[in-house]
Amino acid sequence: MTRIESDKVTINKTAKEVFDFLSDFNNFEKLMPEQVVGWHSTIDECTFTIKGMATLGMKIIEKVPNSLVKVAKNGSAPFEFNLSCMIDDLQQQCAVQLAFDADLNPVMKMMASKPLTNFLNLLVNKLKEL
């Protein structure tokens, strides 16, 4: 299993506010880059297409109030994966880090590591701006 992590960023919102935001896939569209099109979501599931690549589906599989939202592959994707949104409470602020765990073969790992790291960092930095 390959683990790719974002930077850990401090957000000027409470852990509860960030947890509530991340617990609803309808909010995730606000974090997506322009390469993501065809976004469809409910509270617990989403599907989207990355231009020139694949259509992916995700579902929320675990929620630990104010500290963790865990997402897994849902439907067709070229590999199994989980995305963990980890939240640390810092009183009136919180720290957030994303961890992407995927079953990647060595070639996929080499090709995908940098783009996935950049994508995760983009998501946490957009979250910081909301």
Alpha-carbon distances of 126 from 14, 32, 52, 74, rounded to whole Å:
16, 8, 23, 24
Strands 36-41, 45-50: pairing kind:
antiparallel
Could you tell me the pLDDT band of residue 53, with boundaries at 50, 70 and 90?
confident
Can you give the pLDDT at residue 43?
97
Give the residue-averaged pLDDT of 80-109.
94
- CATH architecture designation of domain 2-129: 2-Layer Sandwich (3.30)
Mean pLDDT for the chain overall: 93
Task: Give me the mean pLDDT over the 101-105 stretch.
Answer: 91
Angle at 106 between CA 8 and CA 1, to 5 degrees: 50
pLDDT tens-digit readout, 18-38: 999 999 999 999 999 988 999
Domain residue extents for the chain: 2-129
Measured CA to CA, the distance from residue 91 to residue 56 in angstroms comes to: 35
